[in-house]
Amino acid sequence: MDNDHFPGWHGTTIIGVRKGGRVVIAGDGQVSLGQTVIKGTARKVRRLAVEGADVIAGFAGSTADAFALLERLEKKLEATPGQLSRACVELAKDWRTDKYLQKLEAMLIVSDGDALFVITGAGDVLEPEHDVTAIGSGGNYALAAGRALMDTDMDAEAIARRAMQIASDICVYTNGNLTVETVGG
């Protein structure tokens, strides 16, 4: 993300884990401005309000921008029922080509229980190679921890929670106050 537009704002950590027929998306609750924690209980993971679809999403970046993107994703899902990948690609195309959307500073992780995607403002719709993905300032820490835990007996939720705990121990812009949503299985 380009922090020139939002100097002093720092991210969050969101992780998505697919294992055993379930997908879990977990996110911390910290909102920081510079070196100050503004809020510790933000909800950055939620279920989308799409009739007939069970889709969860987590976001990193500007909250207002993420909500604008989630709203557009909901509309894309309504237009293409049951086709999460198509809705994500359509959103990414719009995000890349629309002058208003190009200014949005956020990233999304979304899942319907089968597919797991990261959507970026660069027009990317990425499916993780190892069934774990993460975004935000602590994303690389959570990703490394999650990948290391995939070969254990832990289920998707336990992996997500442990990886987030590790990320919150390392990243000063990530706390241990988690919101966790599960879909599938």
Q: Give the residue numbers marked as catalytic.
A: 12
Alpha-carbon distance values, 1 to 73, 93, 142 (Å): 20, 18, 18
Q: Cα torsion for 136, 138, 144, 146, to the nearest 10°?
A: -80
Task: Answer whether 163's CB lies under 8 Å from 149's CB.
Answer: yes
Q: Which two tokens stand for residue 149?
A: 């835990």
**Is residue 30 a contact partner of residue 39, using CB atoms and an 8 Å limit?**
yes
CA distance 184 to 106: 25
